Amino acid sequence: MAGAKLKMWALPGAELTVPKSLLMPGGGDELVKGPCPSFLIEHPKGLVLFDTGCNPKIIDDPIGYWGEFARHLPVKWSKNETLDKQIQGIGYKTSDVKYVVLSHSHLDHAGGLTYFPKAKFIVGSNELRYAYWPDPDRRWAFILDDYLPTRNCEWIEFANDFDLFGDGLVQFLLTPGHTPGECSLLVNLPNRSFLLVGDTVGMVEMGFDSTRQVTMEHMQYHIGAVRRGAPNTHIIGDMPYNSDCDPDLALQNAQLLIDAGADSVKLEGPKCEVINRLVTNGIEVVGHTGLTPQTAANFKQVGRDEKDAERIVDEALRIATAGAFMIVLEHIPDALAETVTRSVPVPTIGIGAGSSCDGQVLVINDAIGMGDRWPPFSRQYAYVGKTIIEAAEIYVSQVRDRTY
């Protein structure tokens, strides 16, 4: 379809705590937190959902629904975060979903099938058969009640790769291994440019010593100015210091930035409850980990030792699971940024984090060389500050000697 465009939302689901050995061979007994997200894809020919997460019955009674092994699989999830509520928060109903593509049939991917009785379900060849009759040592990972209510629904099994809409935008890829019919989706999203109206404006334009002095009123003013100058560009508005302390306050302030002209908001740190609240209320969120200027004691590179690197990877995963559609990685080692980028299901945007990130952001004053001091990880592509000073000196000289 010529000119067809896509939009995709990452929808956070349950967070499971599992041993590494469950995720990778030789992973050991160390416990890690694993996200169970779904992805909603808006195509001109219909909505596509990739995976459905866990069944909401586990919120109240995981052992009753999953069985005794659930005692060893702690779940963090609330009734405000269920898949149907998140889809409603975006502005759709579950009945609007045309296709549900199931990557595989494990309990953390197939639990929400019953939300979509009118959809067409797509799986890889042999996946359904294996879901009903798995190997004995794998039976715990398949919950029959996830599937039985959908027996009369329309199921489509693909034995080969398939272009879902015939335009190359959403492609079904058969990738067996984890299960016999495991599949992936290749989603060709359009390239997007963003303008971030950051609280750094307080330091580079307003003369403040830190970003902590920037207020909501300051951000509203500058977002409005940028919107007037860039009416057709996606604008991200920074949530200023202490404007997102709790979900209720964050929602109120985020809406003010949206009303001022922002398309989405960015907030620092793993404030997962806040992110989830904003996303479920239809506000797109950009996460931020690594160096977080609003709370940092200094501007030294972070993530250099193993413990701090693990913290940053964990934060990025939690931020993505909470529903952020993009994550800023600031002033961390290049190798760590590459690890995070490979680990999270959403794009990463680097600032002083190397070239392995999916995109880059740079303060415009640093890029054009305003001032005389810049962060060590920034680059100057001109020295406009010097040019301005030279122009002013020439002007003053001409006025004084009356040649102007």
Cα torsion angle, 42, 47, 53, 54, sign: positive
Starting at the earlier edge strand, list the strands of the sheet with 284-290. Answer: 194-197, 234-238, 264-266, 284-290, 326-330, 348-351, 359-360
Tokens (6 digits) for 86: 């998140």
Q: Of 330, 338, 390, 393, which residue is the catalytic one?
A: 330
Pairing type for strands 15-19 and 75-76 reads antiparallel
DSSP string, 209-274: SSGGG--HHHHHHHHHHHHHH-TTSEEEEEPPTTS-SSHHHHHHHHHHHHHHT-SEEE--S--HHH
CA dihedral 272, 276, 277, 278 (to 10 degrees): 100
Tally the C-alpha atoms within 13 A of residue 47's C-alpha that lie toward its C-beta: 19
Tokens 């990025």 sit at which residue? 316
* Active site annotation includes 81: no
Quote the CA–CA distance of 118 and 19 in Å, as a whole number. Answer: 36
Eight-class DSSP state of 138: G
- CB 70 within 8 Å of CB 57: no
DSSP string, 79-115: GGG-HHHHHHHHT--GGGEEEEE-S--STTTSTTGGG
Quote the CA–CA distance of 340 and 226 in Å, as a whole number. Answer: 31
Quote the CA–CA distance of 324 and 245 in Å, as a whole number. Answer: 17
Q: Kindly list the catalytic residues.
A: 330
